[in-house]
Chains A and B, each alone.
Chain A
Amino acid sequence: MDLPDGYVVFVKASCPTCRLVAPALLRLRDAGAPLTVYSQDDPLFPEGAEALDDSDLRRSYQAGVEVVPSLMHIEGGAVIERLEGWLRTDWERVTGVADLGADMPPFRAGCASRTLDPGMPELLAVRFGGEKLRSRRLEVAQLEDEFEAMFERGWTDGLPVVPPTPERVLRMLEGTDRDPPEVVAVVPPDLVECTVEKAAVNAVMAGCRPEYLPVVLAALEAACTSEFNIHGLLATTWSAGPVIIVNGPVTERIGMNAGGNALGQGNRANSTIGRALQLIVRNVGGGRPGGVDRATHGNPGKHTFCFSEDERGSPWEPLSVERGLPAGTSAVTLFAGSGLQPLVDQQSRSPESLARTYAACLQVVAHPKLALAWDAVLVVSPEHARVFREAGWSKARLREELDGLLRRPGAQMIRGAGGIAEGMPSSLAGAAVPKFRRGGLLIVHAGGTAGMFSAIIGGWASGAVGSEPVTREVRE
């Protein structure tokens, strides 16, 4: 900030308190005080005060003015004292002019500075705080359609994206306390450092609100760990992509959907958080279909696949708690998921029967004769969860039951068995083969209150070979 020594006052003509104070400013100047007045709206105001024009608000922004009138006492370029509004005794004390407001009321509150007009902080931050953003700036010609320009540059997932203007990115960055240049993760496949700012640019494009950004950042951190292995997940010919399951208080605070159609369209947070992660992988990491992404089919969830767990309605502990975080902590769990296989059971009223249905349906993940190489998420609906609640079954109890039910004789699963060439190695003919590796089946509670359905999200190459589910706290 570069303000002249002496007394500096910021005013605007549309503020009644500033108009009230105007005579005091003339008196101050007449007393011989070194006075500089900046007017935010009308350089002719206050009349006779020879105010400097600050209608572009540069000085006000740089001085951090929030209220007019503001009186600052500057010495050696530093602010010694700062007063806001009108308090006669304070003004007289700071200026040393005893009868400065002799005929004026003792106190009047000020008005909001024009720097705080709606939308103005972002605009001023862009105009005068330019060095905060480091991303390369690209000018779109006036006659160019900005949406088409973004398609042409290859920035989108095939759907339109929100143009990442500096104003929008600055607003997005308000969603986190983290510094824009801080590196969040190194993003495959190009292994490029992704800063908070780059993540924010892509979050804007995805359609996120600023309050979603901490969830996007946590998901990005989790995705770019060696355990989760988003590089391999991107490159694989298999259909899978990152699935984000969100737990904790952040889900309600940002309005996520854990109820009806939780895994579908229509909720902004669910839709855009998953999309932001995929846009970062595409744009920052350089991972694109046909490039490093070699998926045979892909799946619609590779646009976005993000939902929250219904913790309030659940008979069980949340996924994040089961995975080691304290209750009440906001968290994301990343899962390499290949799409949704819903299952129906409208007849079971006992947990034993319903568990058998689950086991039968879970056997077909990837292939009924293949085991241990794919993980899965079982999404239990409220109507199904009721069966377990009423029977007093914990999640651990259900797991124990499923562990038993999901073991099949190796003889039925080896290559050639059942007339199917695909299968497990013949060495397992005499073994009881579990479908999932230890920790390879995640169970969450989500969905609408009507429907005796649950759903399975099949996985990808599991564990150290491919991907481990990874849980990370959301730092708000």
Chain B
Amino acid sequence: MELLDPTGERQPAARQRVPRPASLEGLTVGLLDISKPRGDVFLDRLDEVLSGRGVEVLRFRKPTFTKPAPADLRYEIRVKCDAVVEALAD
């Protein structure tokens, strides 16, 4: 019996992962709030800890947690940061 494939017939695009940094010294770390309740509590504390260690911290925020981050926001994080921490919260 011959069947037609009901799937998208796609392999997910293989993306190169940025290597994990050995140290945060001299790096810029992005903190991404996805707009879930209390995500800011976690990120504020992380901001304190990282800034205290002399790491440059940049803050970002998704408009809503229910939708993927807009392409422009993803691009901005990519060009400005060496690493990013995303607060999934809940």
Contacts and interface: CB of A to CB of B under 8 A. Distances in A.
Interface of A: 133, 135-140, 142, 146, 149-150, 155, 163-166, 169, 187, 190, 192-194, 198, 201-202, 205, 226, 229, 231-233, 235-237, 279, 283-286, 461, 464-467
A141 to B, nearest CB: 9
B10 A146 contact: no
Point out which of B64, B66, B67 has the most chain A C-beta atoms below 10 A from its C-beta. B66
Contact of B9 (A133, A135, A165, A235): A135
B68 interface: yes
A229 B66 contact: yes
Contacts of B5: 135-138, 201
B66 A283 contact: no
B2 interface: yes
Interface residues of B, number: 17
Contacts of B16: none
Interface in B6-32: 6-10, 12
Nearest to B64: A465
A235 B65 CA distance: 10
Given A133-B4, A166-B4, A286-B10, 11 more contacts: A137-B2, A137-B4, A138-B3, A139-B3, A140-B1, A149-B3, A190-B12, A192-B8, A229-B66, A284-B7, A467-B66
A137 to B, nearest CB: 5
A465 B65 CA distance: 8
A201 B3 CA distance: 9
B49 to A, nearest CB: 28
Nearest to B68: A231
Nearest to B13: A190
A136 B12 contact: no
Nearest to B1: A140
A223 B24 CA distance: 43
B66 A466 contact: yes
B7 to A, nearest CB: 5
A424 to B, nearest CB: 12
Given A231-B67, A232-B66, A136 B10 contact: no
A466 B64 contact: yes
Contact of A285 (B1, B8, B9): B8
Contact of A136 (B1, B9, B65, B90): B9
Contact of B4 (A135, A193, A226, A461): A135
A165 B66 contact: no
B8 A164 contact: no
B2 A166 contact: yes
A215 B6 CA distance: 19
B36 to A, nearest CB: 11
A461 B4 CA distance: 36
A464 B63 CA distance: 9
A4 B1 CA distance: 36
